[in-house]
């Protein structure tokens, strides 16, 4: 294994994406320092506590060439916190701005930020989202990620630090939580699911493909100053996803063709309208520019990604 010259700082190293990315980077010869809130037990780590505007980054950034910033307050469905926007802003907006400013001051060459497709919006119809779309975040999480992106561009313009932003849609893989985990459990149970008539289109990305793209952005000259959308390269309806999950689980899915309008009404009456939109609305991303500029393609097929997800 060839030792790479770039020294990396990885935040969020204990998280859903970060833990596997830390392993991938090590296997590819990168020297990685993990910035963590509590000991992770890896070769090189540094405790940084909570991430916010007051976090001290000087020691963590010493000798670093590139920052990969994954840490943040994750999006939570039906977040009940009264002042959700302030909570997201403290970590995702102010915390990112603080780290980026410290990185620029330390002379860091490149800053890779994993944002969210929620910066673009929640749903689309007809045309997939692109990196050039006017941002239209609809919730506190998306707003906080957009504010973080805006801070990064401002700092980059003032300092010359290279910035690269990645906006993934829903990320799945072993250990995934939320709606995706519940869907896997439902398919595994064999319960008939009422999504057979829903003809939506959704882009997803496996954690394997997202990690691969992040690594490509470390050294690619084309990554500097760009926003990249990412997916598995195949868009699916909710019924199509359920069918593929059934195949991966070895228990064929049972889909009932309930009219989408009736489904919407039932979800609304149950106080779960937003959940209906996330399951049955369309959210497509166009990754053509990502693939062309970075000479990249998703290395793991959606079926292989789903198989790995349900097998571990």
* 293 and 222 Cβ atoms separated by less than 8 Å: yes
Question: Which pairs count as long-range contacts for 238-244, CB under 8 Å and 24+ apart, including other chains?
Answer: 238/195, 238/198, 238/200, 238/202, 238/279, 238/280, 239/195, 239/196, 239/197, 239/198, 241/183, 241/202, 241/204, 242/183, 242/187, 242/193, 242/195, 244/302, 244/303, 244/306
| Interval 96-107: pLDDT, tens | 999 999 999 999
CA atoms within 13 A on the CB side of 298: 24
CATH class belonging to 7-167: alpha beta
CA distance 72 to 92: 5
d(CA 232, CA 306): 11
CATH of domain 174-203+232-312: 3.90.25.10
DSSP 193: B
What CA–CA distance (Å, rounded) separates 195 from 15?
31
Question: Which residue in 30, 88, 141, 208 is the catalytic one?
Answer: 141
Q: Where are the domains of the chain?
A: 7-167, 174-203+232-312
E-state strands within the chain: 7-11, 31-36, 45-47, 66-69, 110-114, 162-167, 170-172, 202-206, 226-229, 235-236
**CA gap 89, 45 in Å, rounded:** 26
Residue range 179-190: mean pLDDT, rounded: 92
Q: Output the pTM of the full model.
A: 0.94
Look up 141 and say whether it is catalytic: yes
Out of 14-28, 34-48, 150-164, pick the least confident.
34-48
pLDDT computed for residue 109 by the predictor: 96
Q: What digits encode the pLDDT tens for the residues 126-156?
A: 899 999 999 999 899 999 999 999 999 999 9
pLDDT at 75 over 70: no
Under 8 Å between Cβ of 115 and 171:
no
């Amino acid at each position: 294994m060839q030792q790479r010259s770039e020294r990396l700082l990885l935040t969020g190293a204990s998280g859903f994406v970060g833990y596997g990315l830390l392993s991938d980077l090590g296997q590819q010869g990168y020297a990685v320092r993990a910035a963590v809130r509590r000991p992770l037990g890896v070769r090189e780590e540094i405790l940084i506590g909570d991430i916010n505007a007051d976090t001290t980054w000087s020691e963590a950034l010493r000798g670093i060439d590139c920052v990969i910033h994954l840490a943040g307050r994750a999006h939570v469905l039906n977040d009940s916190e009264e002042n959700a926007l302030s909570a997201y802003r403290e970590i995702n907006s102010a915390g990112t701005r603080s780290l980026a400013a410290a990185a620029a001051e330390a002379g860091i060459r490149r800053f890779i930020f994993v944002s969210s497709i929620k910066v673009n919006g929640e749903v689309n119809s007809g045309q997939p989202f692109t990196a050039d779309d006017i941002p239209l975040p609809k919730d506190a999480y998306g707003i906080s990620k957009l504010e973080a992106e805006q801070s990064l561009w401002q700092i980059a313009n003032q300092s010359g630090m290279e910035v690269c932003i990645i906006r993934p849609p829903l990320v799945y893989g072993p250990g995934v939580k939320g709606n995706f985990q519940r869907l896997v459990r439902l398919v595994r149970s064999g319960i008939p699911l009422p999504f057979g008539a829903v003809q939506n289109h959704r882009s997803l990305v496996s954690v394997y493909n997202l990690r691969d793209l992040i690594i490509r952005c470390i050294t690619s000259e084309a990554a500097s100053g760009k926003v990249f959308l990412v997916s598995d390269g195949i868009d699916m309806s909710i019924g199509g996803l359920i069918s593929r999950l059934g195949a991966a689980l070895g228990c064929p899915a049972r889909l009932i063709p309930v009219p989408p309008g009736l489904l919407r009404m039932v979800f609304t009456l149950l106080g779960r309208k937003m959940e209906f939109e996330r399951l049955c609305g369309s959210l497509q991303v166009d990754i053509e520019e990502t693939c062309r500029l970075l000479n990249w393609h998703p290395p793991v097929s959606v079926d292989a990604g789903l198989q790995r997800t349900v097998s571990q």
